[in-house]
């Protein structure tokens, strides 16, 4: 390991930067990816250390007090099918219409999450919406750099640590890169998530067709988890009753340990734009329907401002203040604590299964 295990974010930049491919990202017993170095092949070139975002921190001159906006897409379909207000989709559409590419997180065939690159509007639908499990970055940093070096535009969307990893990997600024992060509460274990999906398939006696966190069937503020099954059945549960969200939001059971002491909170940030849900938003016109989804948009750089202006005609936006923006978004500055039942969860879930383990934890709490 380059750094202590509990500090590693699993961004994967060390694996991407190694010139002789002697670093693999390997799952541990909790399902999180960590670098495994083949020391016999290592030439001690030091590139992994020079690009590690945890070791090197944030290096930019971005705005420490970014302007804040409440915003949403004027396209009702985009807004209702997005996690918040659909601003990601509008930015992505602009990049693609100009001949560029978008890199972001997508569900794979096993409903796990990985980063990929798309170049059409159909792909935006796959990247859209929050995915509450850590994404595998694969070779995404290499792929982004190859496109940038061909003078094509790329919009990269990832966690703050992934964005910092990309900045370190590239080693210089690119005018044709738009970097977007989001206010992150922490990334969850792929193993815990898989166990959750297995419990749902057992309960509904069918393979899962689609997972949709923060579905708006009951509105944006009362978001729910929706799962569609191959047998035609559907599952809905709000954030207070869906067991996966309860384990994440209430008990902090399966976040990556580095997320409890995140190095990438606050401002300035590496990204040009930070996106989030604008919880607690208060608009001047109280008749505006914010419950269809309202995005928080924080502009960290002049480039970010230019891109927001480029989609002005397609969005509603109203300037707010940073203090109002983060009032109900404490994870902009604060890391969540690791739950005191986290070890019990991972010690127990393999034997008893997801649902049974969470129910025991609820009783113990």
Which positions ≥6 away from 107 have C-beta within 8 Å? Answer: 113, 126, 131, 211
Which positions ≥6 away from 282 have C-beta within 8 Å? Answer: 324
Residue 359 binned pLDDT confidence (cut-offs 50, 70, 90): very high
Q: What is the length of the chain?
A: 365
How much is the average pLDDT of 6-30? 96
pTM of the model: 0.96
Residue 319: pLDDT over 80: yes
How much is the average pLDDT of 217-233? 95
Residue 88: pLDDT over 70: yes
How much is the average pLDDT of 144-168? 97
Sign of CA dihedral 113, 118, 123, 127: positive
Please tell me what DSSP assigns to residue 257: G
Q: What CA–CA distance (Å, rounded) separates 238 from 245?
A: 8
Instruction: Note the pLDDT of residue 86.
Output: 97
164 exposed, middle or buried (CB, 10 Å; 0-12, 13-18, 19+)?
buried
Instruction: Indicate the helix (H) or strand (E) that contains 239.
Output: none
Residue 214 in tokens:
């923060």
Instruction: Note the pLDDT of residue 2.
Output: 74
Instruction: Note the pLDDT of residue 206.
Output: 98
Q: What CA–CA distance (Å, rounded) separates 116 from 136?
A: 10
- Which residues share a beta bridge with 34? 26
Residue 98 in tokens:
């100009």
How much is the average pLDDT of 288-314? 96
Residue 59: pLDDT over 80: no
Q: Which residue is it, tokens 């203090």?
A: 323
How much is the average pLDDT of 82-92? 97
Residue-averaged pLDDT of the chain: 95
Q: pLDDT (tens digit, 9 = 90+) per residue, 90-126?
A: 999 999 999 999 999 999 999 999 999 999 999 999 9
CATH fold of 5-56: Alpha-Beta Plaits (3.30.70)
Residue 1: pLDDT over 70: no
Residue 58: pLDDT over 80: no
Q: What CA–CA distance (Å, rounded) separates 18 from 146?
A: 16
Q: pLDDT (tens digit, 9 = 90+) per residue, 175-200?
A: 999 999 999 999 999 999 999 999 99
Residue 167 binned pLDDT confidence (cut-offs 50, 70, 90): very high
Residue 353 binned pLDDT confidence (cut-offs 50, 70, 90): very high
Q: CA–CA distance from 49 to each of 1, 12, 146 (Å)?
A: 10, 12, 22
Give the residue extent of every domain in the chain. 5-56, 68-187+255-332, 190-254+335-364
Residue 3: pLDDT over 90: no
Q: CA–CA distance from 186 to each of 71, 72, 133, 165 (Å)?
A: 24, 24, 9, 16
Give how far the C-alpha of residue 269 lies from the chain's centroid of Cα atoms, to the nearest Å. 15
Instruction: Note the pLDDT of residue 208.
Output: 98
């Amino acid at each position: 390991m380059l750094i202590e295990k509990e500090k590693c974010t699993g961004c994967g930049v060390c694996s991407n930067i190694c010139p002789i491919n002697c670093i693999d990202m390997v799952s541990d017993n909790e399902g999180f990816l960590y670098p495994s170095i083949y020391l016999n092949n290592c030439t001690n070139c030091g590139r992994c250390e020079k690009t590690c975002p945890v070791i090197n921190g944030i290096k930019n001159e971005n705005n420490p007090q970014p302007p804040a906006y409440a915003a949403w897409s004027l396209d009702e379909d985009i807004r209702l099918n997005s996690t918040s207000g659909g601003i990601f989709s509008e930015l992505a559409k602009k990049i693609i219409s100009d001949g560029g590419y978008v890199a972001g997180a997508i569900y794979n065939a096993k409903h796990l999450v990985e980063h990929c690159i798309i170049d059409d509007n159909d792909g935006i639908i796959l990247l859209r919406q929050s995915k509450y499990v850590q994404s595998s970055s694969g070779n995404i940093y290499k792929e982004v750099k190859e496109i940038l070096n061909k003078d094509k535009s790329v919009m990269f969307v990832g966690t703050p640590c992934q964005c910092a990893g990309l900045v370190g990997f590239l080693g210089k600024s690119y005018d044709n890169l738009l970097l977007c992060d989001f206010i992150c509460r922490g990334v969850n274990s792929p193993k815990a998530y898989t166990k959750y999906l297995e419990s749902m398939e057992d309960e509904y006696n069918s393979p899962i067709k689609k997972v949709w966190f923060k579905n708006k069937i009951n509105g944006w503020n009362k978001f729910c988890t929706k799962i569609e099954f191959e047998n035609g059945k559907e599952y809905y549960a709000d954030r207070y009753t869906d067991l996966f969200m309860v384990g994440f939001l209430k008990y902090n059971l399966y976040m990556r340990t580095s997320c409890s002491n995140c190095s990438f909170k606050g401002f300035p940030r590496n990204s040009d734009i930070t996106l989030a849900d604008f919880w607690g938003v208060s608009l001047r016109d109280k008749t505006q329907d914010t419950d269809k989804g309202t995005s928080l948009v924080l502009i960290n750089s002049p480039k970010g401002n230019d891109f927001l202006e480029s989609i002005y005609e397609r969005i509603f936006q109203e300037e707010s203040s940073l203090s109002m923006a983060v009032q109900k978004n404490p994870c902009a500055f604060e890391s969540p604590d690791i739950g005191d039942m986290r070890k019990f969860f991972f010690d127990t879930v393999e034997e008893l299964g997801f649902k049974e383990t969470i129910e025991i934890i609820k009783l113990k709490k």
